[in-house]
Protein backbone atom coordinates (compact mmCIF):
# COMPACT_ATOMS: atom_id res chain seq x y z
CA UNK A 1 0.00 0.00 0.00
CA UNK A 2 1.87 3.06 -1.22
CA UNK A 3 0.40 6.48 -1.11
CA UNK A 4 2.09 9.21 -3.03
CA UNK A 5 -0.73 11.71 -3.23
CA UNK A 6 -1.08 12.36 0.50
CA UNK A 7 1.36 14.67 2.24
CA UNK A 8 3.65 12.74 4.52
CA UNK A 9 1.87 13.14 7.81
CA UNK A 10 3.66 11.43 10.69
CA UNK A 11 2.47 7.97 9.85
CA UNK A 12 0.34 6.35 12.51
CA UNK A 13 0.19 2.80 11.32
CA UNK A 14 -3.41 1.97 11.93
CA UNK A 15 -3.88 -1.69 11.22
CA UNK A 16 -7.53 -2.23 10.41
CA UNK A 17 -9.13 -5.65 10.56
CA UNK A 18 -12.58 -6.94 9.75
CA UNK A 19 -14.66 -8.59 12.43
CA UNK A 20 -17.43 -10.77 11.08
CA UNK A 21 -20.40 -11.38 13.35
CA UNK A 22 -23.27 -13.15 11.65
CA UNK A 23 -24.20 -10.93 8.74
CA UNK A 24 -22.50 -7.89 10.24
CA UNK A 25 -19.03 -6.66 9.54
CA UNK A 26 -17.22 -4.26 11.86
CA UNK A 27 -13.85 -2.65 11.27
CA UNK A 28 -11.51 -2.59 14.24
CA UNK A 29 -8.00 -1.39 14.94
CA UNK A 30 -5.23 -2.81 17.07
CA UNK A 31 -5.26 0.26 19.31
CA UNK A 32 -7.94 -0.91 21.69
CA UNK A 33 -9.48 -4.15 22.88
CA UNK A 34 -12.31 -5.64 20.86
CA UNK A 35 -15.04 -4.98 23.45
CA UNK A 36 -14.97 -1.17 23.30
CA UNK A 37 -14.88 -1.23 19.52
CA UNK A 38 -17.88 -3.57 19.32
CA UNK A 39 -19.76 -1.36 21.76
CA UNK A 40 -19.02 1.70 19.68
CA UNK A 41 -20.46 -0.17 16.73
CA UNK A 42 -23.66 -0.60 18.73
CA UNK A 43 -23.21 -4.27 19.56
CA UNK A 44 -24.09 -5.39 23.06
CA UNK A 45 -21.49 -7.66 24.56
CA UNK A 46 -21.90 -9.11 28.03
CA UNK A 47 -19.24 -7.84 30.41
CA UNK A 48 -18.54 -7.37 34.06
CA UNK A 49 -14.98 -6.57 35.09
CA UNK A 50 -13.58 -5.26 31.79
CA UNK A 51 -10.17 -6.32 33.09
CA UNK A 52 -9.89 -9.95 32.11
CA UNK A 53 -10.76 -11.62 35.39
CA UNK A 54 -14.43 -12.55 35.23
CA UNK A 55 -14.88 -14.32 31.85
CA UNK A 56 -18.28 -12.68 31.26
CA UNK A 57 -17.15 -11.23 27.93
CA UNK A 58 -16.15 -14.60 26.50
CA UNK A 59 -17.14 -14.84 22.81
CA UNK A 60 -16.61 -17.60 20.26
CA UNK A 61 -13.66 -17.03 17.96
CA UNK A 62 -14.44 -19.02 14.81
CA UNK A 63 -11.23 -18.10 13.02
CA UNK A 64 -8.49 -15.48 13.04
CA UNK A 65 -5.99 -14.25 15.61
CA UNK A 66 -6.16 -12.18 18.74
CA UNK A 67 -3.53 -11.47 21.35
CA UNK A 68 -3.60 -10.41 24.98
CA UNK A 69 -1.12 -7.68 25.95
CA UNK A 70 -1.50 -8.94 29.53
CA UNK A 71 -2.40 -12.50 30.28
CA UNK A 72 -5.99 -12.44 31.56
CA UNK A 73 -6.74 -14.00 34.94
CA UNK A 74 -9.86 -15.65 33.59
CA UNK A 75 -9.56 -19.01 31.88
CA UNK A 76 -9.86 -18.62 28.12
CA UNK A 77 -11.56 -21.69 26.62
CA UNK A 78 -10.03 -22.86 23.38
CA UNK A 79 -12.05 -21.44 20.51
CA UNK A 80 -13.09 -18.42 22.58
CA UNK A 81 -11.74 -14.95 23.24
CA UNK A 82 -12.16 -12.45 26.05
CA UNK A 83 -13.46 -9.34 24.35
CA UNK A 84 -12.50 -6.88 27.10
CA UNK A 85 -8.79 -7.46 26.71
CA UNK A 86 -8.25 -9.13 23.33
CA UNK A 87 -6.48 -7.15 20.63
CA UNK A 88 -7.53 -8.26 17.16
CA UNK A 89 -4.52 -9.13 15.00
CA UNK A 90 -6.13 -10.35 11.78
CA UNK A 91 -9.55 -10.49 10.19
CA UNK A 92 -11.65 -12.62 12.51
CA UNK A 93 -15.08 -14.18 12.73
CA UNK A 94 -16.86 -14.26 16.08
CA UNK A 95 -20.19 -15.57 17.37
CA UNK A 96 -22.31 -15.32 20.50
CA UNK A 97 -24.27 -18.29 21.86
CA UNK A 98 -25.54 -20.65 19.23
CA UNK B 1 -3.63 -41.04 55.80
CA UNK B 2 -4.03 -38.60 58.66
CA UNK B 3 -3.62 -34.88 58.24
CA UNK B 4 -0.45 -33.21 59.47
CA UNK B 5 -0.12 -29.45 59.86
CA UNK B 6 3.50 -29.74 58.83
CA UNK B 7 4.28 -32.67 56.61
CA UNK B 8 7.88 -33.80 57.31
CA UNK B 9 8.40 -35.50 54.00
CA UNK B 10 10.75 -33.98 51.48
CA UNK B 11 9.00 -33.62 48.14
CA UNK B 12 8.61 -31.27 45.22
CA UNK B 13 5.22 -29.62 45.63
CA UNK B 14 5.21 -28.53 41.98
CA UNK B 15 4.79 -32.22 41.10
CA UNK B 16 1.75 -32.66 43.34
CA UNK B 17 -1.86 -32.49 42.16
CA UNK B 18 -4.05 -29.65 43.48
CA UNK B 19 -5.79 -31.99 45.92
CA UNK B 20 -5.24 -35.38 47.53
CA UNK B 21 -1.48 -35.40 47.04
CA UNK B 22 0.96 -34.75 49.88
CA UNK B 23 -0.21 -32.49 52.70
CA UNK B 24 1.43 -29.11 52.22
CA UNK B 25 4.42 -28.24 54.37
CA UNK B 26 6.42 -25.09 53.61
CA UNK B 27 4.27 -22.13 52.60
CA UNK B 28 6.50 -20.99 49.79
CA UNK B 29 5.42 -19.04 46.73
CA UNK B 30 8.65 -18.63 44.83
CA UNK B 31 7.77 -21.66 42.72
CA UNK B 32 4.29 -22.57 41.71
CA UNK B 33 2.67 -25.38 39.88
CA UNK B 34 -0.31 -23.19 38.97
CA UNK B 35 0.77 -19.52 39.09
CA UNK B 36 -2.84 -18.46 38.48
CA UNK B 37 -3.65 -18.97 42.15
CA UNK B 38 -0.84 -16.65 43.19
CA UNK B 39 -2.22 -14.06 40.78
CA UNK B 40 -5.71 -14.46 42.21
CA UNK B 41 -4.33 -13.89 45.70
CA UNK B 42 -2.64 -10.67 44.62
CA UNK B 43 -5.75 -9.47 42.88
CA UNK B 44 -7.96 -10.29 45.86
CA UNK B 45 -5.59 -8.45 48.19
CA UNK B 46 -5.70 -5.41 45.93
CA UNK B 47 -9.51 -5.49 46.26
CA UNK B 48 -9.46 -5.25 50.04
CA UNK B 49 -12.22 -3.05 51.46
CA UNK B 50 -14.00 -2.43 54.75
CA UNK B 51 -17.80 -2.29 55.01
CA UNK B 52 -17.63 0.59 57.49
CA UNK B 53 -16.09 2.78 54.79
CA UNK B 54 -19.48 2.94 53.14
CA UNK B 55 -21.84 5.46 54.68
CA UNK B 56 -25.36 4.08 55.04
CA UNK B 57 -27.12 6.90 56.83
CA UNK B 58 -29.29 7.76 53.81
CA UNK B 59 -30.18 4.12 53.32
CA UNK B 60 -31.88 4.07 56.69
CA UNK B 61 -34.25 6.85 55.62
CA UNK B 62 -34.73 5.29 52.21
CA UNK B 63 -35.62 1.96 53.75
CA UNK B 64 -38.34 3.47 55.91
CA UNK B 65 -39.87 5.04 52.83
CA UNK B 66 -39.94 1.79 50.83
CA UNK B 67 -43.29 0.14 50.37
CA UNK B 68 -43.86 -2.97 52.37
CA UNK B 69 -43.41 -5.36 49.46
CA UNK B 70 -40.20 -3.57 48.54
CA UNK B 71 -38.90 -3.97 52.07
CA UNK B 72 -39.69 -7.67 51.72
CA UNK B 73 -37.61 -7.83 48.53
CA UNK B 74 -34.72 -5.97 50.10
CA UNK B 75 -34.65 -7.91 53.36
CA UNK B 76 -35.15 -11.32 51.77
CA UNK B 77 -32.20 -10.75 49.47
CA UNK B 78 -30.07 -9.66 52.38
CA UNK B 79 -30.99 -12.81 54.27
CA UNK B 80 -30.19 -15.02 51.32
CA UNK B 81 -26.83 -13.34 50.76
CA UNK B 82 -26.10 -13.68 54.47
CA UNK B 83 -26.72 -17.39 54.18
CA UNK B 84 -24.47 -17.74 51.13
CA UNK B 85 -21.58 -15.86 52.67
CA UNK B 86 -21.96 -17.63 56.01
CA UNK B 87 -21.36 -20.85 54.10
CA UNK B 88 -18.58 -19.42 51.95
CA UNK B 89 -16.76 -17.77 54.84
CA UNK B 90 -15.98 -21.15 56.33
CA UNK B 91 -16.57 -24.02 53.94
CA UNK B 92 -13.67 -23.64 51.53
CA UNK B 93 -11.41 -23.73 54.59
CA UNK B 94 -13.08 -26.63 56.35
CA UNK B 95 -13.60 -28.75 53.27
CA UNK B 96 -10.59 -28.00 51.11
CA UNK B 97 -7.67 -27.17 53.39
CA UNK B 98 -7.29 -30.72 54.76
CA UNK B 99 -6.84 -32.09 51.24
CA UNK B 100 -5.00 -29.35 49.38
CA UNK B 101 -1.47 -30.09 48.16
CA UNK B 102 -0.17 -26.85 46.66
CA UNK B 103 0.91 -23.90 48.83
CA UNK B 104 -0.37 -21.29 46.37
CA UNK B 105 -3.75 -22.98 46.17
CA UNK B 106 -3.93 -23.36 49.93
CA UNK B 107 -3.35 -19.63 50.34
CA UNK B 108 -5.84 -18.78 47.60
CA UNK B 109 -8.50 -20.81 49.44
CA UNK B 110 -7.78 -18.93 52.66
CA UNK B 111 -7.73 -15.55 50.93
CA UNK B 112 -10.97 -16.34 49.10
CA UNK B 113 -12.73 -17.47 52.23
CA UNK B 114 -11.47 -14.45 54.15
CA UNK B 115 -12.96 -12.11 51.59
CA UNK B 116 -16.32 -13.84 52.12
CA UNK B 117 -16.12 -12.94 55.80
CA UNK B 118 -15.89 -9.28 54.76
CA UNK B 119 -19.14 -9.80 52.87
CA UNK B 120 -20.78 -11.26 55.95
CA UNK B 121 -19.57 -8.32 58.03
CA UNK B 122 -21.03 -5.94 55.49
CA UNK B 123 -24.49 -7.51 55.87
CA UNK B 124 -24.35 -6.89 59.60
CA UNK B 125 -23.33 -3.30 58.82
CA UNK B 126 -26.33 -2.89 56.49
CA UNK B 127 -28.86 -4.64 58.73
CA UNK B 128 -27.79 -2.69 61.80
CA UNK B 129 -28.28 0.51 59.87
CA UNK B 130 -31.74 -0.15 58.56
CA UNK B 131 -33.54 -1.97 61.37
CA UNK B 132 -33.65 -1.60 65.12
CA UNK B 133 -33.57 -5.29 65.89
CA UNK B 134 -31.09 -7.25 63.71
CA UNK B 135 -31.88 -10.46 65.62
CA UNK B 136 -35.26 -10.75 63.94
CA UNK B 137 -33.59 -10.77 60.55
CA UNK B 138 -30.77 -13.13 61.45
CA UNK B 139 -33.09 -15.56 63.23
CA UNK B 140 -35.32 -15.82 60.21
CA UNK B 141 -32.40 -17.11 58.10
CA UNK B 142 -32.44 -20.45 59.91
CA UNK B 143 -36.23 -20.81 59.96
CA UNK B 144 -37.51 -19.23 56.76
CA UNK B 145 -38.43 -22.10 54.49
CA UNK B 146 -37.46 -20.37 51.25
CA UNK B 147 -33.97 -19.75 52.62
CA UNK B 148 -33.41 -23.12 54.27
CA UNK B 149 -34.32 -24.90 51.04
CA UNK B 150 -31.38 -23.11 49.47
CA UNK B 151 -29.15 -23.72 52.48
CA UNK B 152 -29.56 -27.41 51.84
CA UNK B 153 -28.48 -27.16 48.19
CA UNK B 154 -25.45 -24.99 48.86
CA UNK B 155 -24.12 -27.01 51.78
CA UNK B 156 -24.83 -30.63 50.89
CA UNK B 157 -21.80 -31.24 48.65
CA UNK B 158 -19.48 -29.54 51.10
CA UNK B 159 -20.90 -31.56 53.99
CA UNK B 160 -20.58 -34.82 52.09
CA UNK B 161 -16.96 -34.12 51.18
CA UNK B 162 -16.10 -33.10 54.74
CA UNK B 163 -17.64 -36.28 56.10
CA UNK B 164 -15.75 -38.46 53.64
CA UNK B 165 -12.44 -36.70 54.24
CA UNK B 166 -12.92 -37.11 58.00
CA UNK B 167 -13.37 -40.84 57.54
CA UNK B 168 -10.41 -40.99 55.17
CA UNK B 169 -8.15 -39.17 57.64
CA UNK B 170 -9.13 -41.29 60.61
CA UNK B 171 -9.88 -44.70 59.11
CA UNK B 172 -8.23 -44.71 55.68
CA UNK B 173 -9.80 -46.54 52.74
CA UNK B 174 -12.66 -48.98 53.07
CA UNK B 175 -16.38 -49.10 53.71
CA UNK B 176 -17.49 -47.73 57.04
CA UNK B 177 -20.79 -47.93 58.81
CA UNK B 178 -21.70 -44.46 59.95
CA UNK B 179 -24.51 -44.41 62.52
CA UNK B 180 -27.63 -42.95 60.99
CA UNK B 181 -26.13 -42.92 57.50
CA UNK B 182 -25.35 -46.51 56.65
CA UNK B 183 -22.22 -47.69 54.87
CA UNK B 184 -19.98 -45.06 53.26
CA UNK B 185 -17.35 -46.23 50.83
CA UNK B 186 -14.06 -44.37 50.95
CA UNK B 187 -11.78 -44.80 47.97
CA UNK B 188 -9.70 -42.33 46.01
CA UNK B 189 -12.12 -42.19 43.07
CA UNK B 190 -15.06 -41.64 45.47
CA UNK B 191 -13.19 -38.89 47.29
CA UNK B 192 -12.22 -37.20 44.06
CA UNK B 193 -15.76 -37.40 42.78
CA UNK B 194 -17.06 -35.79 45.96
CA UNK B 195 -14.44 -33.07 45.54
CA UNK B 196 -15.24 -32.40 41.90
CA UNK B 197 -18.96 -32.11 42.62
CA UNK B 198 -18.24 -29.80 45.54
CA UNK B 199 -16.19 -27.44 43.37
CA UNK B 200 -18.91 -27.57 40.71
CA UNK B 201 -21.54 -26.67 43.26
CA UNK B 202 -19.43 -23.82 44.70
CA UNK B 203 -18.80 -22.59 41.18
CA UNK B 204 -22.55 -22.38 40.68
CA UNK B 205 -22.94 -20.56 43.98
CA UNK B 206 -20.38 -17.94 42.99
CA UNK B 207 -21.65 -17.78 39.40
CA UNK B 208 -25.42 -17.61 39.68
CA UNK B 209 -26.80 -17.51 43.18
CA UNK B 210 -25.94 -13.90 43.96
CA UNK B 211 -27.20 -12.33 40.79
CA UNK B 212 -30.94 -12.04 41.44
CA UNK B 213 -30.09 -10.21 44.59
CA UNK B 214 -27.51 -8.01 42.84
CA UNK B 215 -30.09 -7.07 40.21
CA UNK B 216 -32.61 -5.98 42.85
CA UNK B 217 -30.04 -3.91 44.73
CA UNK B 218 -29.05 -2.10 41.55
CA UNK B 219 -32.67 -1.61 40.52
CA UNK B 220 -33.27 0.20 43.83
CA UNK B 221 -30.18 2.31 43.22
CA UNK B 222 -31.37 3.22 39.73
CA UNK B 223 -34.19 4.99 41.56
CA UNK B 224 -31.56 6.58 43.84
CA UNK B 225 -32.71 4.39 46.72
CA UNK B 226 -30.46 2.37 49.00
CA UNK B 227 -27.35 3.69 47.27
CA UNK B 228 -25.00 2.86 50.12
CA UNK B 229 -26.15 -0.72 49.87
CA UNK B 230 -25.52 -0.64 46.11
CA UNK B 231 -21.95 0.53 46.72
CA UNK B 232 -21.38 -2.41 49.01
CA UNK B 233 -22.95 -4.79 46.52
CA UNK B 234 -20.65 -3.45 43.81
CA UNK B 235 -17.65 -4.30 45.96
CA UNK B 236 -19.06 -7.73 46.75
CA UNK B 237 -19.78 -8.39 43.07
CA UNK B 238 -16.19 -7.55 42.20
CA UNK B 239 -14.96 -10.12 44.73
CA UNK B 240 -17.46 -12.74 43.61
CA UNK B 241 -16.33 -12.41 40.00
CA UNK B 242 -12.80 -13.23 41.13
CA UNK B 243 -13.94 -16.18 43.24
CA UNK B 244 -15.80 -17.44 40.22
CA UNK B 245 -12.64 -17.29 38.15
CA UNK B 246 -10.93 -19.31 40.88
CA UNK B 247 -13.51 -22.11 40.76
CA UNK B 248 -13.59 -22.01 36.95
CA UNK B 249 -9.83 -22.54 36.90
CA UNK B 250 -10.10 -25.44 39.32
CA UNK B 251 -12.85 -27.10 37.27
CA UNK B 252 -11.09 -26.54 33.97
CA UNK B 253 -7.75 -27.76 35.33
CA UNK B 254 -9.45 -30.85 36.68
CA UNK B 255 -11.33 -31.59 33.48
CA UNK B 256 -8.23 -31.06 31.35
CA UNK B 257 -6.31 -33.75 33.19
CA UNK B 258 -3.27 -31.46 33.19
CA UNK B 259 -3.26 -31.38 36.96
CA UNK B 260 -4.30 -34.94 37.77
CA UNK B 261 -5.13 -37.39 34.97
CA UNK B 262 -7.50 -39.35 37.23
CA UNK B 263 -9.51 -36.20 37.81
CA UNK B 264 -10.17 -35.84 34.09
CA UNK B 265 -11.86 -39.24 34.06
CA UNK B 266 -13.99 -38.28 37.04
CA UNK B 267 -14.89 -34.92 35.50
CA UNK B 268 -16.04 -36.69 32.35
CA UNK B 269 -18.16 -39.13 34.38
CA UNK B 270 -19.77 -36.25 36.30
CA UNK B 271 -20.84 -34.19 33.27
CA UNK B 272 -24.54 -34.93 33.64
CA UNK B 273 -24.52 -34.39 37.36
CA UNK B 274 -22.76 -31.03 37.01
CA UNK B 275 -25.24 -30.00 34.34
CA UNK B 276 -27.98 -30.86 36.80
CA UNK B 277 -26.33 -28.76 39.49
CA UNK B 278 -26.40 -25.76 37.13
CA UNK B 279 -30.02 -26.36 36.15
CA UNK B 280 -31.19 -26.97 39.70
CA UNK B 281 -29.57 -23.74 40.88
CA UNK B 282 -31.08 -21.77 38.01
CA UNK B 283 -34.55 -23.17 38.75
CA UNK B 284 -34.15 -22.34 42.43
CA UNK B 285 -33.13 -18.79 41.61
CA UNK B 286 -36.14 -18.39 39.35
CA UNK B 287 -38.35 -19.61 42.20
CA UNK B 288 -36.58 -17.18 44.46
CA UNK B 289 -37.50 -14.32 42.14
CA UNK B 290 -41.13 -15.41 42.32
CA UNK B 291 -40.96 -15.46 46.10
CA UNK B 292 -39.41 -11.98 46.15
CA UNK B 293 -42.17 -10.50 44.05
CA UNK B 294 -45.06 -12.42 45.60
CA UNK B 295 -46.63 -9.23 46.97
CA UNK B 296 -45.68 -6.94 44.12
CA UNK B 297 -42.88 -6.08 41.69
CA UNK B 298 -40.53 -3.16 41.66
CA UNK B 299 -39.93 -0.64 38.88
CA UNK B 300 -37.96 -2.21 36.07
CA UNK B 301 -37.92 -5.72 37.46
CA UNK B 302 -40.37 -8.56 37.81
CA UNK B 303 -40.12 -12.29 38.31
CA UNK B 304 -40.24 -13.00 34.60
CA UNK B 305 -37.41 -10.63 33.62
CA UNK B 306 -35.30 -11.89 36.50
CA UNK B 307 -36.01 -15.46 35.46
CA UNK B 308 -34.72 -14.71 31.98
CA UNK B 309 -31.66 -13.06 33.45
CA UNK B 310 -30.97 -16.16 35.53
CA UNK B 311 -31.22 -18.32 32.41
CA UNK B 312 -28.97 -16.01 30.46
CA UNK B 313 -26.30 -15.86 33.11
CA UNK B 314 -26.46 -19.62 33.62
CA UNK B 315 -25.69 -20.03 29.92
CA UNK B 316 -22.72 -17.66 30.20
CA UNK B 317 -21.37 -19.56 33.21
CA UNK B 318 -21.84 -22.99 31.68
CA UNK B 319 -19.99 -21.95 28.57
CA UNK B 320 -17.09 -20.72 30.71
CA UNK B 321 -16.47 -24.22 32.02
CA UNK B 322 -16.89 -25.90 28.67
CA UNK B 323 -20.52 -27.01 28.97
CA UNK B 324 -23.23 -26.73 26.35
CA UNK B 325 -25.67 -24.01 27.29
CA UNK B 326 -29.06 -25.25 28.41
CA UNK B 327 -31.51 -22.35 28.23
CA UNK B 328 -32.96 -20.67 25.17
CA UNK B 329 -32.43 -17.13 26.50
CA UNK B 330 -29.55 -15.77 24.45
CA UNK B 331 -29.78 -12.12 25.39
CA UNK B 332 -29.36 -10.27 28.62
CA UNK B 333 -32.83 -8.87 29.42
CA UNK B 334 -31.33 -6.31 31.83
CA UNK B 335 -28.15 -5.12 30.09
CA UNK B 336 -28.04 -2.02 32.32
CA UNK B 337 -26.87 -4.25 35.18
CA UNK B 338 -23.39 -4.56 33.66
CA UNK B 339 -22.68 -0.87 34.16
CA UNK B 340 -23.28 -1.50 37.86
CA UNK B 341 -21.28 -4.70 38.00
CA UNK B 342 -18.20 -3.22 36.40
CA UNK B 343 -15.53 -2.54 38.99
CA UNK B 344 -14.17 0.72 37.63
CA UNK B 345 -16.77 2.93 36.08
CA UNK B 346 -14.10 5.02 34.49
CA UNK B 347 -13.39 3.24 31.27
CA UNK B 348 -9.69 2.69 31.27
CA UNK B 349 -7.75 0.46 28.98
CA UNK B 350 -7.43 -2.99 30.55
CA UNK B 351 -3.65 -2.59 30.52
CA UNK B 352 -3.91 0.41 32.81
CA UNK B 353 -6.55 -1.19 34.93
CA UNK B 354 -4.37 -4.23 35.31
CA UNK B 355 -1.57 -2.11 36.67
CA UNK B 356 -3.67 0.16 38.88
CA UNK B 357 -5.48 -2.68 40.58
CA UNK B 358 -2.22 -4.22 41.63
CA UNK B 359 -1.53 -1.17 43.74
CA UNK B 360 -2.49 -1.97 47.27
CA UNK B 361 -4.75 0.71 48.67
CA UNK B 362 -6.66 1.16 45.46
CA UNK B 363 -9.95 0.16 46.97
CA UNK B 364 -13.13 1.94 46.10
CA UNK B 365 -11.84 5.42 45.39
CA UNK B 366 -13.47 5.18 42.03
CA UNK B 367 -16.89 4.81 43.58
CA UNK B 368 -18.60 8.10 43.99
CA UNK B 369 -22.01 9.48 43.23
CA UNK B 370 -21.25 9.78 39.57
CA UNK B 371 -21.18 5.99 39.38
CA UNK B 372 -24.84 5.92 40.03
CA UNK B 373 -26.03 8.42 37.45
CA UNK B 374 -27.43 8.00 34.02
CA UNK B 375 -28.46 4.40 33.86
CA UNK B 376 -31.92 3.83 32.53
CA UNK B 377 -34.03 0.88 33.39
S1 LIG C 1 -15.39 -8.41 31.19
FE2 LIG C 1 -14.46 -9.63 32.72
S3 LIG C 1 -13.11 -10.89 31.58
FE4 LIG C 1 -13.86 -9.49 30.13
FE1 LIG D 1 -19.21 -13.50 49.11
FE1 LIG E 1 -17.59 -15.74 46.78
Task: Let me know: does B244 contact A54? Beta carbons within 8 Å.
Answer: yes
List, as ranges, residues 30-49 from B with C-beta within 8 Å of A: 36, 39-40, 43
Q: Domains of chain B (ranges plus CATH)?
A: 34-349 (1.10.620.20)
Q: Which of B305, B308, B309 is nearest to B297 (CA)?
A: B305
pLDDT in tens, B285-341: 999 999 999 999 998 899 999 999 999 999 999 999 999 999 999 999 999 999 999
Q: Which helix (H) or strand (E) holds B156?
A: helix B145-171
In sequence order, what are the beta bridge partners of B174? B186
Q: Is the pLDDT assigned to residue B373 strictly greater than 60?
A: no
Interface size A-B, in CB pairs within 8 Å, comes to 84
Question: Shortest Cα distance from B199 to chain A (angstroms)?
Answer: 16
Question: Shortest Cα distance from A72 to chain B (angstroms)?
Answer: 9
Question: Shortest Cα distance from B360 to chain A (angstroms)?
Answer: 17
Task: Let me know: does A55 contact A82? Beta carbons within 8 Å.
Answer: yes
Mean predicted confidence (pLDDT) in B363-377: 46
pTM of the entire structure? 0.89
**Residue from A70, A80, A84 whose mutation best tests the ligand 1 pocket (most atoms within 8 A of CB):** A84
pLDDT in tens, B193-224: 999 999 999 999 999 999 999 999 999 999 99
Task: Let me know: does B51 contact B122? Beta carbons within 8 Å.
Answer: yes
Decide if A32 and B347 are in contact by the 8 Å CB cutoff.
no
List the single residue in B252, B335, B343 with the smallest CB-CB distance to A49. Answer: B343
pLDDT in tens, B51-64: 999 999 999 999 99
Task: Let me know: does B209 contact B281? Beta carbons within 8 Å.
Answer: yes
- The CATH superfamily assigned to A16-95 is Beta-grasp domain (3.10.20.30)
B345 CB near a chain A CB, below 8 Å?
Answer: no
Cα A77 from Cα A79, distance rounded (Å): 6
Ligand 1 contact, A49 CB (< 6 A): yes
Distance B178 CA to ligand 3 centre (A): 32
Distance B65 CA to ligand 1 centre (A): 37
Amino acid sequence: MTSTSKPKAPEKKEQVHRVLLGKKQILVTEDEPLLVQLERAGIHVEYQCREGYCSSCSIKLLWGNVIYPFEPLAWVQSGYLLACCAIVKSDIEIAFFD
Amino acid sequence: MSYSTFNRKHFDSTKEPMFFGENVNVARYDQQKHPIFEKLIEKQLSFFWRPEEVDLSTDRKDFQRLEEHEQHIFLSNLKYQTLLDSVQGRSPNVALLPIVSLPELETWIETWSFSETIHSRSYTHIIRNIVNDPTKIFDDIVTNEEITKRADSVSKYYDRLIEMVNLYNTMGMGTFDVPGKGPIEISMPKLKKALYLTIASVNVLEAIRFYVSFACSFAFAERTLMEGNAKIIKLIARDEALHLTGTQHMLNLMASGKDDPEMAVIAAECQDEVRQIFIEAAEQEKEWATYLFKDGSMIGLNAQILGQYVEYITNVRMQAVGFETCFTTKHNPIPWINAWLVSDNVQVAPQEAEISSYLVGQTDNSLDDSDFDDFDL
